[in-house]
Structures are given as C-alpha cells and as structure tokens.
Amino acid sequence: MTHQPSRDGAIARAAHHFASGAFLADLTRRVAIKSESQSSDRGAELRAYLDGEMIPSLGNLGFTGTIVENAVAGRGPFLIAERHEADHLPTVLIYGHGDVVPGHEGRWRDGIDPWTVTVKGDRWYGRGTADNKGQHSVNIAALAEVMAERGGSLGFNAKFVIEMGEEAGSPGLRALAESHGEALAADVLIASDGPRVIAERPTVFLGSRGAINFELTVDLRKGAHHSGNWGGLLANPGTILANAIASLIDGQGRIRLDALKPAGIPPAVKAAIADLSVGGGPNDPEIDRDWGEPGLTPEERVFGWNALEVLAFETGNPRAPVNAVPGIARATLQLRFVVGTDPATVIDAVRAHLAANGFDRVQVTPSRMEAFTATRLDPNDPWVGWALESLARTTGKKPALLPNLGGSIPNDVFSEILGLPTIWVPHSYPACSQHAPDEHLLAPVVEEALRVMAGLFWDLGETGPGIMDARKEACRA
C-alpha cells in the first residue's frame, strides 16, 4: 500500500525521534562543544560548532551552508544556510545561536559536568541544553521528520542563520543583516529561544523587551580617608549615588522618571496579557505583588511595562569594610523596555534628570554591551493566528500568546532590518537555570516541542501561501 504523507505522520515521526534517543544523542554531541562566547580563547570551538556540527547536520537535509566572518574583530562567525525548493513557495528564516555562557565547572549539583548531557529524571542537564542548542536542535529535527514524511521535500523554502555571539550581545549580527539582506530575505521568521510562560503550556511570543545598561559613577577623590577624622567634612560618593538612584526609582520599584516609562499598554497587547499567569512554578521565586508600577498586574509589569533594575552597586570594599570615607562609588543599572521607548534617548534623559535634581557629580555612561531594541509583532497579524491554531491542533491545549518576551533577544535584526513578521516558539521553561549552574531542559517539553514544530512546519507547507496572501490583502486594505 502506498504511503500517504500526513500531518499526523510527521508528528508521529517527531515523537519517535525523541523516544528512540536520537535527539538526545544529537544534543549530547552539540553540548560537548565548549562554545563560550564570553571567553577570549574559545574561537576554535565557536567555529567548530558551525563547521563540524551545523553544516553537516543541515547538509544532510539539503541545505547549502556558508560561513560568514564577523565584521566585529575577535568575535565568532555566522552560518547562513539555505534549502530552496521553488520560487513560488513561502520562505521561512530560522534563527539559533550556538554560543553559550561560561560553563561554571565545579558549581553544578552532584558534580555534573556542564559539557556532558546528564539525565536525572525528566531533567536533561548541560550547558546550552536550554539556551540555545537544545532549542534550535528541536527545530532542525522537526524539519528532518517533515521532510521524511513528505518523501524528501518540505513544501516551502528554508533558511538558517546561526550566530556564535548572542551571549555576548550579538556583536556583528546587525551588520550581517545589513550586508547580507538578500541572503536572509524571507516571508516569516520562525525561531525558538527563551522560556514558555509555564512548562506545561505551549507558548508563542512576537518580540521582546529591549534592554540598555548604563553605569553611574561618583568619583570625588583619590583614595579613602579616615571616617573619624574626615567624616562629616567630606562628601560621601556612596551616599550621593544612593540618592541619585532613588531619584530615578523609588523604594517600591516604581520608575520616577517619566522618560523611562512607556506611554501605556495598547488594547490588543493588554488583551493578550490578560490570558497569562506568571510564577507559581516549583522553582520560581515568590512574586512581590506590591513591587513596581501601581495599578498593573504582575503579567502587565513584565510583558507590557518597563523595569529599571540596579544590577550592581559598589563603594568602599563591601567584603572587608574599613572605617574610611570612600572616594568613589559605582553602580550598573539596566532598563528593560517595551515598544515605545527609544533607547537612544535614555542616557541623555538620565543625565538631564540628575543634573536638574542636584546630582551633577554623577557621571552617566552607557555600558559596553550593545543595546537591544524593543520589538513586537501586531497580535492581529495573520501569522499569529496561524501559529496559535497550529499549536492548539497539535497539543489540544490553548497556547499562551506573549506580545513580547520579558527578556531581550536581537529580534530587531529580523523585524526592523530584515522587515520580517516574527514568530517565536520557545522550548524551555522559566526555571531552567539558563545562564547559571544546573541549566537543563525538561524531557516532556522537548517531546512536545518536537511534535509542535513538526506540526507547525507541516502547516507552513500546506497553508503558508494562504497566510502570505492574507497579509498582502491586509496591507492593501
């Protein structure tokens, strides 16, 4: 009897790929590559992840890959890979990053080696399992199973861009998009990063909050002076800096400077957020419900509003304080912001505010980390409804729709520079310990994610052209 390719068949293949151990084997091989982008001596490993792992894996699926050197000296390269089936078919761009944060060897539970995938119950431990090797590995595997079910075709064109510097702020990615726009041209971005809203609920998000870090410094004099002889006579930089920060944000976490706040939450965004619930997981911290902007729900505060955080504060020697008035104080602050806040105005707004309030001795400088711009696809875009319907059909669950991720990713590269609608389907969960020791994936989420992406890619081949037509019609209207 002739095999009839079907959506259910593709999903069943994806489930078998998980059950057979093949996915775990692929992930174990990739985690073993110590691709730490924040380390200056990992250039060979960053390149090896692309040359030795991604190019062969995608080549097996008919992709032609090209390594592109980074325009930023000393930073990891990029991979652009393409599989073209027909000019009239939709083209999807898929993104992932193969770099990871430092391994933190020796700090993992039970002596776990961060460069080996260790299975303990439902948890798969290892650096990069959640962020982001495991996530783009799910998408590669799902593509393979759809292709196998269709007898060697996808039903659409596909491109990959894999970067090796996301954990260092994605240096060079924007330059890549500007110089290789034609090679990256597509109809939609479908990618995976970040967490689901909760482990059990499939999630789609449409962009991310932006982030800008800046430093406040009060440098009054060289060295410290005895607090008995000079206390009350010398201005204390720590005291000045603490009060300067308090003029920006109060003791309840409420931003005091209007220039750092959004104008409001759009109705469509507010409606999407109303269906969400954050926190409450077994490893989640307890939410402080009286913290931040009054009148907003916790979900609105993290997905629809800005947050100003003090990341570090130092004056004197906190580990070994002495009886002396310090000469200098420093703090690093971060603004996480939604669409409507222009990061280019933040530093000047803070400087003007501090000067106007008598803190003229506080120096404000941007940090070296590249700022991420806030982005958000319109929740009413046809691609959004298409993706939600696909996930619901595969899982039998109502997916969560996040207008934007609470964290920050370089989505502006795709939405602003390349002009793409952006659909993100995360395969991790909030308590995955990404960036920390004990990073892990949850096996049940991986299994469901493989099925979800097989269904989504199958639907792209079946109904993608109709979504493209719907978007064109909406633009004409």
The verdict on residue 280 lying in a domain is no
Which range marks the domain in which residue 128 is found? Answer: 7-208+374-476
Other C-beta atoms closer than 10 Å to the C-beta of 379 total: 19
Give the separation between CA 78 and CA 164, rounded to whole angstroms: 6
Residue 181, SS3 per DSSP: coil
Are 127 and 166 found together in one domain? yes
Please list, in sequence order, all residues whose beta carbon lies within 8 angstroms of the beta carbon of residue 444, skipping any fewer than 6 positions away.
Answer: 122, 199
Total Cβ atoms within 10 A of residue 214: 19
- Final residue of a domain: which of 334, 349, 366? 366
- pLDDT at position 475, please? 73
Specify whether 98 is located in the same domain as 192. yes
Asked whether residue 64 falls in the same domain as residue 28, the answer is yes
Q: What is the CATH number of the domain that holds 304?
A: 3.30.70.360
CA distance 78 to 33: 16
Tell me, what's the pLDDT at 474? 77
Residues 27 and 103 in one domain: yes
Last residue of a domain, one of 366, 383, 411: 366
Residue 277 lies in a domain: no
For residues 117 and 240, membership in a common domain is answered with no
Residue 346 lies in a domain: yes
- In this structure, the answer to whether residues 355 and 389 fall within a common structural domain is no
Is the domain of 195 the same as that of 312? no
Question: Domain check: are 409 and 441 in the same one?
Answer: yes
Contact 10, 153 (CB under 8 A): no
The predicted pLDDT at position 145 comes to 98
284: in domain: no
What CA–CA distance (Å, rounded) separates 209 from 376?
Answer: 8
227 and 332 co-located in one domain: yes
- Domain with 384 in it: what CATH number? 3.40.630.10
Output the pLDDT for position 368. 66
Which string of DSSP letters, residue by residue, matches 7-31? HHHHHHHHHHHHHTTHHHHHHHHHH
For the four alpha carbons of 244, 405, 194 and 44, in that order, the dihedral sign comes to: negative
Per-residue pLDDT of the chain in tens (477 residues, 90 and over written 9): 677 999 999 999 999 999 999 999 999 999 999 999 999 999 999 999 999 999 999 999 999 999 999 999 999 999 999 999 999 999 999 999 999 999 999 999 999 999 999 999 999 999 999 999 999 999 999 999 999 999 999 999 999 999 999 999 899 999 999 999 999 999 999 999 999 999 999 999 999 999 999 999 999 999 999 999 999 999 999 999 999 999 999 999 999 999 999 999 999 999 999 999 988 877 788 999 999 999 999 999 999 999 999 999 999 999 999 999 999 999 999 999 999 999 999 999 999 999 999 999 999 999 866 677 899 999 999 999 999 999 999 999 999 999 999 988 999 999 999 999 999 999 999 999 999 999 999 999 999 999 999 999 999 999 999 999 888 887 776
**Residue-level pLDDT at 283:** 73
From 336, 366, 396, the end of a domain falls on 366
The verdict on 74 and 186 lying in the same domain is: yes
Q: Assess if residue 88 is contained within a domain.
A: yes
Q: For residue 22, is it within any domain?
A: yes
Residue 283 belongs to some domain of the structure: no
**Which whole-number Å values give the CA distances from 173 to 35, 36, 372, in the listed order?**
17, 17, 12
Element (H, E) at 135: helix 133-149
Let me know: does 114 contact 441? Beta carbons within 8 Å.
no
Same domain membership, residue 451 and residue 381: yes
In a domain, 281, yes or no: no
Q: Check whether residue 340 and residue 451 sit in a common domain.
A: no
Report the domain count for the chain: 2
Question: What was the pLDDT predicted at 281?
Answer: 77
Task: Quote the CA–CA distance of 247 and 252 in Å, as a whole number.
Answer: 12
What average pLDDT does the chain have?
Answer: 96
Q: What local confidence, expressed as pLDDT, does residue 370 receive?
A: 66
